[in-house]
Chain A
Amino acid sequence: MNKMIITEAKLFLRDPAGPIFAILLPLALLLGLGSIPGFGEPDPAMGGQRVIDTQLPGMMVILSVVTMALTALPATLVAYRENGVLRRMSTTPVSPVRLLVAQVVNNLAVAIVATVLLIVLGHLFLGVAVPRNLLAFTGVFALGTASVLGLGLLVAAVAPSSKVASGIGSLLMFPLLFVAGMWIPRELMPDVMRRIGDFLPLAPFGQAIRDTWAGHAPQPLHLAVMAVTVLATGALAARLFRWE
């Protein structure tokens, strides 16, 4: 298993566009937007919070996770299926499930690196506080990332080609990011939109990341939605995934 992860990691780094994008884009956005003077001032519309307190860094964490899990992961897996990589492996004593696991581990590693960099550099350059409820933050990160990875695996299971996989990935990504508050903070959204978001996979993840970053406990509803997403996407993906 270790050899598989190492080999996949090497392949991953030889084509570094995906990981670089997932790490650098959110970082650049955090540091760039975070330097805009207004975002560093308490905003009465957001209950006196500053945009750079949790909204901006929280959304950037979500962005890096989503970039890896919804675009990079499905595209790679579907390409493996298209090229017969999975089929070839299924003739050996080792199940191609391990290849999936190795891919998930690599994508997860990138998301973790991106998140750590966002926290550390945000703190050093913008004075953003380190997540105040670090334990809960870590748990939410794990659960939320698992839910997005599950969604990505489901896309990989149903997409007939890597092009279609990228298409479905982007199609899911933008509306989900929107209701999660990527462009308009959830505090400023109409109630109905915020309510819809509560039941979609990404908004609870984003909200729980922001809540724990600020030192609060995550809302039980959000944890439940994420857990259901993990179970539902995982079960469906396992059922629908084809090796060829």
Chain B
Amino acid sequence: MIRRISNVVVMKVIEVSDLRKEYRGRNVVDGVSFTVEEGEIFGVLGPNGAGKTTTVECVAGLRVPDSGTVRVLGGMGPAEVRRHLGVQLQSSALPAKIKVWEALDLYASFYPAPADTGALLERVGLTARRDAYYGKLSGGQQQRLSIALALVGRPRVAILDELTTGLDPQARRDTWELIEQVRADGVTIVLVTHFMEEAERLCDRLALIDSGRVVALDSPEGLVSRIGSPQRVRFRPSRPFDDAILRALPEVTGVRHEDGRVEVSGTGDLLPPVVSALAAAGVTPADLRIEQATLDDAFLALTGKKISA
């Protein structure tokens, strides 16, 4: 049991260690370990079939792992976990003819101290649709109702699995905003996703999962910088100049010319030194572009695969 000695001590909300789960002779989860700290948005990122869902299903108590341990909120029993853990699963739905308010009201009745359902509907933007049938909602609205159901018991931790899959870009951004608000209320969030952009935007830390293993665990920036972060700066110089002024910079590893454009490659924070060296030489860079490594590149470098295939 982890006790909270003071508010400075960060509580480990979820501790997973050496989790294994075999399914039809395949090691779907093959030794996964990670911890989730209170108040963070923790991402579980990986391609389809990497074992993400099975991992969080074990955390939520829906599946029994073959070996390894899962401790939730300091080792609560399954019944208590279900009270404090809100779960939104990929392959779960509601009866088509249940109304929005009925579903929320029913789920609220499952918990000892539920959230105010009216306020929750307002927050997920479904107040105007409260009398609509679940089956008549758009994909984004169904997802938001599903999030509301995961939050109606006022959980300390919410597990959200692929919550923006199949949504249009606007609905996706709205959902991201909602998640950020929920976190601001102090709910710890575990986000399962295969969207790079989503992970980069929302997550404080990420576990990159591939073939049932954690390949890396870090902040999005940390993961990107881990691969040596080859950055590229491209521009069209206002007048010719000597490459040596750029090659002399410690950050720069290469300079190439192509059709009147210059491409400078290097590591770290490349842009400021390049721009000031050019300014010192009286060169103005036009059409300045910077290319940074993304999580996609990080995943590719770490596993040799593309994540979003």
Q: A15-B97, A91-B60, A92-B153 are in contact. Are A84 and B89 (CB under 8 A)?
A: yes
A48 at the interface (CB under 8 A from B): no
Report the bound CA distance from A85 to B92 in whole Å. Answer: 6
Stretch at the interface among B66-74, B77-85, B281-289: B77-85
Q: B62's contact among A15, A85, A90, by CB below 8 Å, is which? A: A90
B92 to chain A: which residues have CB within 8 Å? 83-85, 87-88, 91
Stretch at the interface among B38-46, B104-112, B260-268: B104-112
Docked complex: B240-269 residues within 8 A CB-CB of A: none
Report the bound CA distance from A92 to B82 in whole Å. Answer: 5
Contact between B98 and A11, CB atoms less than 8 A apart = yes
A93 at the interface (CB under 8 A from B): yes
B122 at the interface (CB under 8 A from A): no
A94 to chain B: which residues have CB within 8 Å? 110
Instruction: Name which residue of chain B comes closest to A7, CB basis.
Output: B106
A4 at the interface (CB under 8 A from B): yes
Q: A11's contact among B79, B82, B91, B97, by CB below 8 Å, is which? A: B97
Report the bound CA distance from A231 to B102 in whole Å. Answer: 35
Report the bound CA distance from A210 to B29 in whole Å. Answer: 59
| Chain A contact residues, majority secondary structure | helix
Instruction: Name which residue of chain A comes closest to B79, CB basis.
Output: A93
A178 at the interface (CB under 8 A from B): no
Report the bound CA distance from A107 to B214 in whole Å. Answer: 48
Report the bound CA distance from A67 to B112 in whole Å. Answer: 38
Contact between A91 and B89, CB atoms less than 8 A apart = yes
A92 to chain B: which residues have CB within 8 Å? 82, 107, 110-111, 153
B95 at the interface (CB under 8 A from A): yes
A239 at the interface (CB under 8 A from B): no
Contact between B97 and A91, CB atoms less than 8 A apart = no
A11 to chain B: which residues have CB within 8 Å? 95, 97-98
Docked complex: B9-28 residues within 8 A CB-CB of A: none
Q: A11-B98, A87-B62, A93-B79 are in contact. Are A3 and B89 (CB under 8 A)?
A: no
Contact between A84 and B93, CB atoms less than 8 A apart = yes
Contact between A7 and B98, CB atoms less than 8 A apart = yes
Report the bound CA distance from A93 to B89 in whole Å. Answer: 16
Contact between B95 and A80, CB atoms less than 8 A apart = yes
B223 at the interface (CB under 8 A from A): no
B300 at the interface (CB under 8 A from A): no
Contact between B98 and A88, CB atoms less than 8 A apart = no
Contact with A along B140-158 (1 / 0, CB 8 A): 0000000001000100000
A85 to chain B: which residues have CB within 8 Å? 92-95
A132 at the interface (CB under 8 A from B): no
A10 at the interface (CB under 8 A from B): yes
Docked complex: A66-87 residues within 8 A CB-CB of B: 80, 83-85, 87
Shortest CB distance A95–B (Å): 9
Q: Which interface residue of A11, A15, A80, A92 has the most chain B CB atoms within 10 A?
A: A92
Contact between A3 and B95, CB atoms less than 8 A apart = no
Instruction: Name which residue of chain B comes closest to A3, CB basis.
Output: B109
Contact between B62 and A88, CB atoms less than 8 A apart = no
Instruction: Name which residue of chain B comes closest to A2, CB basis.
Output: B109
Contact between B95 and A91, CB atoms less than 8 A apart = no
Q: A91's contact among B62, B105, B106, by CB below 8 Å, is which? A: B62
Shortest CB distance B158–A (Å): 11
Q: B83's contact among A88, A90, A93, by CB below 8 Å, is which? A: A93
Contact between A3 and B105, CB atoms less than 8 A apart = yes
Docked complex: A82-139 residues within 8 A CB-CB of B: 83-85, 87-88, 90-94
B224 at the interface (CB under 8 A from A): no
Instruction: Name which residue of chain A comes closest to B87, CB basis.
Output: A91
Report the bound CA distance from A163 to B164 in whole Å. Answer: 30
Docked complex: A32-79 residues within 8 A CB-CB of B: none
B98 to chain A: which residues have CB within 8 Å? 7, 11
Shortest CB distance A85–B (Å): 6
A14 to chain B: which residues have CB within 8 Å? 97
Contact with B along A1-22 (1 / 0, CB 8 A): 0011001001100110000000
Instruction: Name which residue of chain B comes closest to A98, CB basis.
Output: B110
Report the bound CA distance from A26 to B44 in whole Å. Answer: 56
A90 to chain B: which residues have CB within 8 Å? 62
Report the bound CA distance from A124 to B71 in whole Å. Answer: 66
- A–B Cβ pairs within 8 angstroms, 11 of them: A3-B109, A4-B109, A10-B102, A15-B97, A83-B92, A83-B93, A83-B95, A84-B93, A85-B92, A85-B95, A92-B111
Query: Chain B interface (Cβ within 8 Å of chain A)?
Result: 60, 62, 79, 82-83, 85, 87, 89, 91-95, 97-98, 102, 105-107, 109-112, 149, 153
Known: A3-B106, A92-B107, A93-B83. 6 other contacts (CB 8 A): A4-B109, A88-B89, A88-B92, A88-B149, A91-B87, A93-B110
Q: 10 shortest A-B CB distances, which residue pairs?
A: A84-B92, A88-B92, A91-B87, A94-B110, A14-B97, A92-B110, A83-B93, A3-B109, A93-B82, A93-B83
